[in-house]
Structure 1
Amino acid sequence: MKLELSDANFPTFKNAISLMKTVNEELTLNFDDEGIRVRGMDPSHVAMIDIRLKPGLFDRFDKTEDMITVNLAEFYRFLDRVEKGEQVKIIYDKKEAKLAILTERGGTKRRFALPTLEPLDDEVPEPKIFWKSEGRILTQSIDRAIKDSDLVAEHVKIMFTNDSLVFNAVGDVGSARNEWEKDSDELLELKSEEDSTATFTLHYLKDMFAQLKNLTDVVTLHLANDMPLRIESDENENIEIDLYLAPCIGV
């Protein structure tokens, strides 16, 4: 496997790796003609990611392996050492079972190497859920609502009606509520077959949206009563993202 990234596209790749590691530090990268596909769950089986990095993200995309398992937290630490203006190559050495990160700028070259891991045994199935409501909204709006909610509580209730989308959090120190009516400038689309409500743990959402806001300007939230939340990135020629978060029942 050999990947090459331009200075312009490297931040997207780096932010995608950062998003993946918020779900699980050890995930398998699957390679095919449509790019790199990663689907995995966190150790508690509360959060799931399904992400595809398309070949157009890379200046060069040579697929010689079907899959590579890596520690994404360590991989990200190496990627974080890449400086602006450097060209980046990522090469898998199957014989050494290592992932090499090579950088070059103005005649200066650097090399990092990261050991890969044994393949993961568990294959994560695609969720089959019938959502009843969806809202297409600015990513920064949800990020703001999550930060507001985090001031007062550990959980947030998400509510859809025909006319609005609401994030509501209540705690011992107070409450925080964000509401977008159907004609809001920030809520771009709203569809609801029936009122839908579920409660979610904020720290998962906070970690996810800290990275999502760097990858997509718009997300679509899908919800049904007390069912997992699906967070879908807007259409993009280089990346597709789906995140799933299980609800908190009885909170």
Structure 2
Amino acid sequence: MSKLMELRTVQSNAFRTLVEVLKDVLNDINITFDESGMRIMAMDGSHVALIHMKLFSEKFEYYHCKQKFNTGICMASLFKLMKTVGNNDTLNMYIDENCMDELCIKVENEPKNSSTLFKLKLLDIDLEELNIPDVEINCIVTMPSNDFQRMCRDMANIADTVIIQSDDEGLRFKCDGDFASQETLIGEANHGLVFNKKQGESELIEGKFALKYINLFTKSTNLCNTIELYLKPDYPLILKYNVANLGEIRFCLAPKID
């Protein structure tokens, strides 16, 4: 049986985590497959967040794609199948040329000599072209992903929004709720926050963002040890995670306007 697309990876845990994160933000989406890999570019239903994911073909144990095509997938349905995948499983996904309305997902466990085949019904979704202009980012920061997740989760107990500032002293996070406020300053450290690119000394970068969305994005923490934050005045906050060694995912969150 000739396959339009086929991939295989031992990074099953990362793949499962990726799908779990995506299903909390996106519903029915198109995934683009071509010879370079698989890609998602989609906005959430409220048009507040944009997700851009790219997994590179050369990072898979095996990857084959005959031609570029888009396939519609319900992320919640995909996760119901993916959550059965174990850390020691090998994940195979393919689409047969004579059955293009199904995504076949084969989960294999060599030590147990077992395999399970799922067939997920695909959707016909109108393709929404999203063009993102190239812009110069003023400030790029790398920090431990678990530190960022913990801080944003704690702040969500106080307020709905966080103000993120980059200034001479470092990166500042502030929130103000009905019963309390919090301000956390994180400076550069050898095993902590690092400025990959910093704005001019007199320039203050500031933006207010919804913690609900940030805390959905930080479910990606298990994918990698560090997160990159891209900051620019009056511009969406961009959070970048590596998807194990398969590729990367970027979450773009529009600022809150008072």
Please give the TM-score of this superposition, normalised by the length of structure 2. 0.87
Contact 2:34 2:66 in 1 (8 A): no
Deviation at 1:91, TM superposition (A): 1.8
User: Paired residue for 1:242?
Assistant: 250
Separation in 2 of the partners of 1:32 and 1:214?
Answer: 27
For 2:137, the aligned partner's letter is: W
User: Paired residue for 1:182?
Assistant: 188
Separation in 2 of the partners of 1:133 and 1:25?
Answer: 31
2:94 pairs, out of 91, 94, 99, with 91
For 1:80, the aligned partner's letter is: K
Q: Does 1:203 align with 2:184?
A: no
Unmatched 5+ residue regions in structure 2? none
Deviation at 1:111, TM superposition (A): 1.8
Deviation at 1:109, TM superposition (A): 2.8
For 2:254, the aligned partner's letter is: A
Deviation at 1:182, TM superposition (A): 3.4
Q: Does 1:101 align with 2:105?
A: yes
Q: Mapping of 1:101-180 within 5 angstroms?
A: 101-105=105-109, 106-180=112-186
2:7 pairs, out of 3, 12, 19, with 3
Contact 1:148 1:176 in 2 (8 A): no
For 1:244, the aligned partner's letter is: C
Separation in 1 of the partners of 2:213 and 2:131?
Answer: 21
Distance 1:101-1:187 versus aligned 2 partners, 3 A rule: same
User: Paired residue for 2:75?
Assistant: 72
Runs of 4+ in 1 over 6 A off after TM superposition: none
Separation in 1 of the partners of 2:92 and 2:62?
Answer: 9
User: Paired residue for 1:192?
Assistant: 199
Unmatched 5+ residue regions in structure 1? none
Distance 1:37-1:139 versus aligned 2 partners, 3 A rule: same
Separation in 1 of the partners of 2:74 and 2:43?
Answer: 14
Deviation at 1:51, TM superposition (A): 1.1
Separation in 1 of the partners of 2:117 and 2:76?
Answer: 18
Separation in 2 of the partners of 1:167 and 1:91?
Answer: 44
Query: Is the deviation greater in 20-29 or in 41-50?
Result: 20-29
CA offset digits 1:65-94 (Å, max 9, x no partner): 522121111111101112343332212135
Contact 1:18 1:76 in 2 (8 A): yes
Deviation at 1:126, TM superposition (A): 1.9
Please give the TM-score of this superposition, normalised by the length of structure 1. 0.89
Q: Alignment RMSD, CA only?
A: 2.1
For 1:215, the aligned partner's letter is: L
Q: Mapping of 1:7-86 within 5 angstroms?
A: 9-65=11-67, 66-86=69-89
Separation in 2 of the partners of 1:61 and 1:247?
Answer: 38
How many matched pairs? 247
SS in 1 for 2:151: helix
Deviation at 1:103, TM superposition (A): 2.2
Contact 2:165 2:173 in 1 (8 A): yes
Distance 1:167-1:184 versus aligned 2 partners, 3 A rule: farther
Distance 1:72-1:235 versus aligned 2 partners, 3 A rule: closer
